[in-house]
Structure 1
Amino acid sequence: MILPKYCHQPKSLGFTLIELIVIISLISILAVSAYSRFTGPSGYAEYTYQARLISALRHIQTRAMFDTRKNLCFQVNFSASPSAFGPPEFSYETPSINSTTCETNIDYSNPDYLVTSATEMADSKVSLVAQDSGGTPYEYIRFDSLGRPQTASGSCNPTCKIELTGESTVKVCVESQGYIHACD
């Protein structure tokens, strides 16, 4: 059977408008991500340390809320010079190790996601300052079994701030109720 001539219309060549929009969007996303790779890490190190610090604080806070044994300190220590942060102990195996879990040093053998070394932050040209809302510096934040923060000078009332400064400045806030977040 022979079909009439009008049934054999050729398909139009080219892209539809939706296909063009999708392709342009994909190219734009690739261009933005490639550009950030070629411009270097400047200005991003502070944000990386901010995310790591929030993660470390929340991890220690969660451990404090789930491990209610006495004579243990669940804290993150801060060193301003040279800049670094991390817990003094990670294992918490026996309650008799009170002296090591409550120290203000940083144990660099802890897992990498909880600790930054002084050389690591110095190489990134990032400094750290930890102070309460009154401007008093502190060297640790310790959490109780309800997840509330405490410093050597008392509680974080209303807020304790940790400022990370490099090419830009970012902050981590710890509220008196225990809420840990990035702040202005």
Structure 2
Amino acid sequence: MIKTQRHTGFTLIELIVVLVIIGVLAVSLVPRFFDGSGTNEYLYRDQAFSLVQRRQIQAMQCTNCFPVGVQVDSISINPAGSPGCENTATRLCISNRDRSSVQLSPTAFTVDLYFNNLGQPIGKGGARICQNSCQINVQGSVTLSICIEYEGYIHLC
């Protein structure tokens, strides 16, 4: 009885094709794990969204207080009237390493955005603003926005 020995394994061509596919994936995907571009914007937008909503809720809870608001500049969002750049529960500051790639910019209002006791956006003098929606843009490799509507609805847009 003759036994035929069967060789199992991969051919050289199959191995080369698999190595080429792994190489292409490594070149295109590995840099994403070591570079935050494109993902930092989402992080900063979510933090800014939370801070603006928090200030709006504070304004609605304090009906006899001076209007509560936020101050937005290119690198930070702070409670209105208190400049500075630090990351706390009430402030957002773009970190030094991200300042060249991520910036904040308000649209349809200057720097200060206040809320009245109904949660509606008002200016420093108390007049209603955001007739056509105000925005806080987080600009980087992508531009993400937070929209503040005339009646006070804050949403990601």
TM-score, reference length from structure 1: 0.60
> What are the residue-to-residue correspondences of 1:35-46 with 2, within 5 Å?
38-46=33-41
Unaligned runs of 5+ in 1: 1-34, 89-102
TM-score, reference length from structure 2: 0.69
- Give RMSD over aligned pairs: 2.5
Percent of aligned pairs sharing the same letter: 26
Match in the other structure for 1:113: 89
Q: 1:168 to 1:37 in 2, by over 3 A?
A: closer
Match in the other structure for 1:171: 145
Aligned residue identity for 1:144: N
* Aligned partners of 1:87 and 1:107 also within 8 Å: no
> What are the residue-to-residue correspondences of 1:39-54 with 2, within 5 Å?
39-54=34-49
CA distance in 1 between counterparts of 2:142 and 2:121 reads: 27
Within the candidate set 102, 105, 113, 1:141 is matched to 113
Moved over 4 A (4+): none
Match in the other structure for 2:155: 181
The CA deviation at 1:179 is 0.7
CA distance in 2 between counterparts of 1:68 and 1:61 reads: 12
The CA deviation at 1:181 is 0.9
Aligned residue pairs, count: 125
Unaligned runs of 5+ in 2: 1-29
> What are the residue-to-residue correspondences of 1:76-115 with 2, within 5 Å?
76-80=70-74, 83-88=75-80, 103=81, 105-108=82-85, 112-115=88-91
Q: Is residue 34 of structure 2 the alignment partner of residue 60 of structure 1?
A: no
Match in the other structure for 2:67: 73
